[in-house]
Structure 1
Amino acid sequence: MSIQVLVVDDSAVVRQVLSGLLNAAPGIQVTHAVADPLLAIERMRLNWPDVILLDIEMPRMDGITFLRKIMSEKPLPVVICSSLTADSTALTVEALSAGAVAVVNRPRVNLREYMTDHADELISAIRMAAASNTQQHADEQARRKPAPVPPAPLMPPPAKLTADVILPPGDGAVVPRSEPLVAIGTSTGGTQALERVLSALPSDAPGIVVVQHMPEKFTGAFAARLDSICAIAVKEAETNDRVQAGVALIAPGGKHMLVRRSGATYYVDVIDGPLVNRHRPSVDVLFRSVAKSAGANALGIIMTGMGDDGALGLLEMRKAGARTVAQDEQSCVVYGMPKEAVKLGAVEKTVPLDAIDREIVAQSFAIK
C-alpha cells in the first residue's frame, strides 16, 4: 500500500507542484492538499495520513503551532517544506525541536524548477518520515502493513568511507584513570531526543561531546537553543575547547570532531575531512577518538537515527573498556543506528530515552 501524504500549504501553486512530484513517485500518494491547518484537521478526520507535508507561514494557524498541536494530541510524522526555513536556521531548529522529522527548504521564486531538480530530497524525506516511529504512525502502519518501497535515488550515493580516513584505530593500550567523559551520537529525531536528555541533567553532569547529524550553519543555533533551556552549558565546539563537567560540546555541521587527551584533561579538535559513513560530522570518528583517548573513562551513547554511523565506533569504545548504552526501539524516531550497534555487540545496555540522563549521571560515580 502506498504512503499517504497530506499537503498543507496556503499557496495553490505550491500544492500543485508538490502534489505532482509526490504522486509521480512510486509508492507515494497525495490524498489531500489543503490551504491551512484547520482544513487539514477536517481531512484528517476522514482519512488519517501517513505523513504530513507542512508549510510554516499560513493563515488562521501557523505551521509550528499546528505541528505542536499534532505532537501533543495524536503524533504522526511531519515534514516541513517552507521558504522561511531557508532564511532562518533558528526556525529550522525550532521546527525540529517541535517534532518535525525533517525539513526541506524551498525557494520563494522559481519553485517548479527548483523542486523538480530537488525532487529526490523531497521524496527521500517523505519515505524516511513514513518509516519513523511516532506513536500514531506506528499503530497505523501495523494495521495497514504496507509493502516496503525502496527509494529510487537519481544518482549513486557517494562512497562509504570509514573512520580510517580520519584517524587510525587504537592500539589497545590501557588509558589511565581520569575525569569521566560522555560521548553521544544521534541523527534523525535526535534534536528532540537530545533536548530531553540534556535538559534533564544537573549542572555538574560529566563533560559531554555530541555528534548530531545536522547541516552546516544549523548546529550553532541548535546549541544556543539547548544552552537556553539546560542547567549545563551547551555550545558549538571549537578546537581546543576543554571537555569538562557541566558542559556539552556539539560538533559543528560540516566538520568532524575528535577528542584528544593532554595529561589528565580532554580537549576537542574540529577538523575538515571527507565524509565518513556519508556524514560529516561522523559519530564513528568521534567514538573512535574517545575510545583511543578516554578508554574506560568514557560512556558511549547511541541514539535515534537512520543508518549505521556510530555502530563500529561504539564497538571500539566497548572493547577499550567504556560503558556503552543504546536508546531502545520504542522511544526512537528511527531505530537504525542503535539497532546496528546492538547487532554488532557494541551495546552493553539498552534503555528508554527518559532513562539516558540517569546513565550519564551514573558515569560520574562509575569510574571513581
Structure 2
Amino acid sequence: MIASHARAAPTRVLIVDDSPTMRAMVAHSLSRYDDIEVIGCADGPHTARAMIKALNPDVITLDIEMPDMNGLEFLEKIMRLRPMPVVMLSTLTGRGAEATIRALELGAFDCCEKPKQAFGEDLGDDLAELLRTAARSPRRPRFVSTPARPVVDYEPRPDSLIAIGSSTGGVETLIELLSAFPVRCPPTVIVQHMPETYVPTFAARLDRLSAPQVSVARSGAPLEIGQVYVAPGGTHHLEVTGGKLRRCRLVADEKMSGHRPSVDRLFLSAARWAGPSAVGAILTGMGADGAQGLKKMKEAGAMTIGQDQDSCVVYGMPAAAQQIGAVTVQLPLSRIAARLLSECKA
C-alpha cells in the first residue's frame, strides 16, 4: 500500500500598502507561486488591523510610508500586541533606508525592495523566499533588549581580530552584540547581508549605539583597536589583508556562496592573514554563507562561535556551520560578546 502525503498548507500572506497599484503588483508577483496564497490586501493600518484579526495570516508585507499611521508606528503596535512575521517593502532611498533599518530594529523579519516594473516581475523569488522563511520561523520577532553596558578596563591583544557574519535578523542582533563592546574593542570586521544603499545608514546607527567607532569599510583602511568595519556590499567583497599592519581590502569579484559581500570571503581571508589570533562568529541568517570560511578559520587555529538556534531569527547560517564541524562552541546571543572579548583579551 502506498502511503499518501498531505500537501503542505500554503503560506498565507496579507499585503498592507496604501497604493492600489503596489498592492496589485505584489499580489500578481506572488500569484506565480503555488505554495503562497495572498489572503487579503489592506490599504492601511486600520484596515489591516481588522483583517489580521479576521484572517490570521502567517506573514504580512508592510509599506513604510502610509497616511494616518506610518508603517513604523503600525509595526511597533504589531510587535507589542500581536507579534508575527513582518516583511517590509521599501524603496532604496536615503530616507527609506533610515526607516527600514529602524523597522528591522523594531523586529521586522527582513526587508525587500519594492518592485519598479509593472506587475512586480522584478521582485523575482526574493520576496517569496522571505515570506516562506518568515512564516515557518519558530521564533517570532522581538524588540531589541535594553543595550548592555560596554565592558570597561578592557585591553585587547595587539594582534587580535574579530570577524562576524550575519544575514536575516542581523540588524537587531548586531545592535545588541556591539552594545557590549568597549571603546577599545579588538579590530572587528562585519559582513551583514543587506542592500548596498542601506549600509551607510546601518553603520551610522551602530556607531550611535556602540562605544567603539563603527564605519563602512574602505579599501586600505588599517584595522585598528576601537574600530568596527562594516562591508559596503554591492559590487565588492570585504577581505582582511596581512603584512606588518592588517588592512581592509575591497575586492570587485563574482558572488561567492550566492552573495556579495560574502561571509565566506571574509572568513577565508581572516583564516589566511590572522589565523589563531582571530575569532570568528557566525550569526542569524538564511542559507549557508560563511560555513566553509568559518571551518577554514577553525582549521587555522581560530576560535569559532555559532549563534544557537533559540536566539536566532533564522537558524540557517549557524546550522550549516555546525553541521560541517566549523563551530567550536555554540552560544546564545547574550553570551557571544563576552566570549569574543575574552578570546581577544591581552
Tell me the distance in 1 between the aligned counterparts of 2:159 and 2:344: 8
The aligned counterpart of 1:118 is 123
CA contact (8 A) 1:300 1:325 kept: yes
Q: Which of 258, 275, 294 matches 2:239?
A: 258
Q: Deviations over 1:197-241 (max 9, x none)?
A: 112222122111101112223212211111111111100001221
Q: Give 1:8's aligned residue.
A: 16
Is the partner of 2:246 in helix, strand or coil? strand
Q: Do structure 1's residue 224 and structure 2's residue 204 form an aligned pair?
A: yes
Distance, in Å, in 1 between the alignment partners of 2:201 and 2:256 is 24
Amino acid paired to 1:337: M
**Distance in 2 separating the partners of 1:84 and 1:64:** 16
Whole-Å separation in 1 of the counterparts to 2:90 and 2:198:
16
> Which structure 2 residues correspond to residues 289-328 of structure 1 after superposition, within 5 A?
289-328=269-308
In the TM superposition, residue 86 of structure 1 has moved relative to its aligned partner by 8.3
CA distance in 1, matches of 2:32, 2:294: 40
Alignment match of 1:135 (pick from 131, 140, 155): 140
Kindly tell me: are residues 348 and 84 of structure 1, through their superposed partners in 2, closer, same or farther at Cα, counting changes over 3 Å?
Answer: closer
- Superposition TM-score, scaled by structure 2 size: 0.86
Report the equivalent of 2:29: 21
Equivalent AA in structure 2 for residue 13 of structure 1: T
Is the 8 Å Cα contact of residues 178 and 210 (structure 2) preserved in structure 1? yes
Partner of 1:135: helix, strand, or coil?
coil
CA change 1:339–1:84 in 2 (3 A) is closer
Asked if 1 retains the 8 angstrom alpha-carbon contact of 2:233 and 2:261, the reply is yes
CA spacing shift, 1:329–1:293, aligned 2, 3 Å: same
In 2, distance between residues paired with 1:73 and 1:322?
43
TM-score computed with the length of structure 1 as normaliser: 0.81
1:36 paired with 2:44, answer yes
Aligned pairs for 1:62-81 (under 5 A) are 62-81=70-89
2:93 aligned with 1:89 = no
Q: In structure 1, the residue corresponding to 2:196 is in which secondary structure?
A: coil
Alpha-carbon contact 1:304-1:333 (below 8 Å) kept: yes
Q: Distance in 1 between matches of 2:296 and 2:29?
A: 43
Instruction: Look up the equivalent residue of 1:226 and give its one-letter code.
Output: L
Contact 2:220 2:247 in 1 (8 A): yes
Q: Judging changes above 3 Å, is the alpha-carbon distance between structure 1 residues 82 and 291 closer, same or farther for their aligned structure 2 residues? A: closer
Counterpart amino acid of residue 217 in structure 1: T
2-structure distance, mates of 1:267, 1:116: 41
Q: Is the 8 A contact 1:86 1:106 kept in 2?
A: no
Counterpart CA distance in 1 for 2:64 and 2:283 is 28
Segment of structure 1 superposing worse, 238-247 or 85-94: 85-94
Name the SS for the 1:218 alignment partner.
helix
| Preserved contact between residue 42 and residue 48 of structure 2 (Cα < 8 Å) | yes
- Taking the aligned partners of 2:56 and 2:37, their CA distance within structure 1 comes to 13
Aligned counterpart, 1:270:
250
Identify the residue that residue 181 of structure 1 maps to in structure 2: 161
- Cα shift readout 1:1-26 (whole Å, capped 9, x = no counterpart): 11111111123333333334334421
Could you give the per-residue CA deviations for residues 159-200 of structure 1, whole angstroms, max 9, x where no partner exists?
Answer: xxxxxxxxxxxxxxxxxx852111001111111211111122
Mapped pair 1:47 → 2:55: yes
CA contact under 8 A between 2:24 and 2:119: conserved in structure 1? no
Q: Following TM superposition, by how much is the alpha carbon of 1:259 offset from its aligned partner in structure 2, in angstroms?
A: 1.0
Paired residues of 1:85 and 1:91 also in contact (CA < 8 A): no
Distance 1:72 1:8 in 2: 18
- Seen in structure 2, the aligned counterparts of structure 1 residues 66 and 335 have a Cα distance that, compared at 3 Å, is same
2:41 maps to amino acid: A
Give the direction of change, closer, same or farther, for the CA distance of 1:84–1:307 in structure 2 (3 Å limit).
closer
SS at structure 2 position matched to 1:330: helix
**Quick one: which amino acid aligns to residue 20 of structure 2?**
A
* Unpaired stretches in structure 1, ≥5 consecutive residues: 138-176
Residue matched to 2:145: none
Provide closer, same or farther for how the CA distance between residues 178 and 229 of structure 1 changes in structure 2, counting only shifts above 3 A: closer
Give the aligned partner of residue 340 of structure 2: 360
Corresponding pairs, count: 323
